[in-house]
Amino acid sequence: MPCLPEDVQSRLEYIFMAMLFFSTDRSSYGNTRIFAPFIDGLNKLQSEGIRVTHSKYKVIKLIPIVLLGDNLGLNGIMGFVECFVANHYCRICKAHRNEMATMHTANPDMKRTKINYETDYLIKNESATGIKEISIWNKLKGFHVVNNPFVDIMHDLLEGACHIVLC
């Protein structure tokens, strides 16, 4: 937790395992059953905080602002399609895969928003929208999956584009 004082950050009593589950359980039981207890805990940390024994701080409230991971994993846990040859595989925009192949710049009109996300889900056609389910992560206070346009630098750059360019 980078918000903690440096002398506290590396202490074992302030290192927490967030969650542990079998990936097959997520496939069997779904995102809601797997992540709901964790999200409830994160919401509690936002409202009640965590006690820290330090000269300056007594209670620190934690506000998660980003989910970070590889694209396939994030698509899966956020309820988007988990196949990058799907018609609409991007969780950040609504562009069709044929358009993606020739796009050189982002088209702001294609960006996913809360409104078009809800509308697309109501269509109930993941081939036409890229959305499999309404994300349980939207129950995290102050968070919505369409406002999480972050990608993992290791997978996208260091193991992806940079590797290709360097070769």
E-strand stretches of 11-129: 50-51, 59-60
Count of domains forming the chain:
2
Residue 153 included in any domain: no
Average pLDDT, the chain: 88
In the prediction, which pLDDT does 139 show? 97
pLDDT band at 1 (very low <50, low <70, confident <90, very high): low
pLDDT tens-digit readout, 59-80: 888 888 888 888 899 999 999 9
Q: Give the CA diameter of the chain.
A: 57
Decide: 137 and 143 in contact? Cβ < 8 Å: yes
Q: Apex CA 69: angle with CA 92 and CA 156, to 5°?
A: 70
Residue 140 included in any domain: yes
The answer, yes or no, to whether residue 36 has pLDDT greater than 70, is yes
Higher pLDDT, 2 or 70: 70
Q: 45, 64, 83 — which closes off a domain?
A: 64
Q: What pTM did the predictor assign?
A: 0.83
Q: Which domain holds residue 45?
A: 1-64
Residue 34 included in any domain: yes
Residue 157 included in any domain: no
pLDDT band at 2 (very low <50, low <70, confident <90, very high): low
| 101 and 128 share one domain | yes
Residue 161 included in any domain: no
| 106 and 135 share one domain | yes
Backbone φ, ψ for residue 69 (5° rounding) = 180, -175
pLDDT tens-digit readout, 11-23: 777 777 788 999 9
In the prediction, which pLDDT does 8 show? 73
| 89 and 140 share one domain | yes
| 49 and 96 share one domain | no
| 79 and 120 share one domain | yes
Neighbours of 60 (CB within 10 A): 16
Higher pLDDT, 83 or 154: 83
The answer, yes or no, to whether residue 5 has pLDDT greater than 90, is no
pLDDT tens-digit readout, 97-142: 999 989 989 899 999 999 999 999 999 999 999 999 999 999 999 9
| 84 and 130 share one domain | yes
Residue 29 included in any domain: yes
Q: Report residue 85 as tokens.
A: 């040859």
